[in-house]
Copies of this chain bind each other. A is one copy, B any other.
Amino acid sequence: MEMVSRRWGSGARVDNVDTGKKKLLKAAITCFVGKGIQATTIEDIANAANVTRRTVYRYYNGKSELIAAVIDLERRQLFKQLHRVCEPFEHDFARMLEECMACAAEILSVSAGGADLLSGGNTVEALPHILSEDSHRDWEELFYTPYQRYRHNHPDVHSLTHIIELTGRLVLSFRYVPGDPNAIRHAVRAFMSLTPSSPPHSG
Contacts and interface: CB of A to CB of B under 8 A. Distances in A.
Interface stretch (A44-52, A62-70, A179-187): A179-187
Nearest to A97: B194
A138 to B, nearest CB: 16
Interface residues of A, number: 47
- Specify how many copies of this chain sit in the oligomer: 2
A159 interface: yes
A87 interface: no
A195 B131 CA distance: 28
B127 A124 contact: no
A187 to B, nearest CB: 4
Contact of A172 (B124, B154, B176, B193): B176
Contacts of A187: 162-163, 165-166, 169
A112 to B, nearest CB: 10
Given A169-B173, A176-B172, A158 B190 contact: yes
A170 interface: yes
A197 B175 CA distance: 27
A114 interface: no
Nearest to A172: B177
B195 A94 contact: yes
Given A193-B157, A197-B95, A170 B172 contact: no
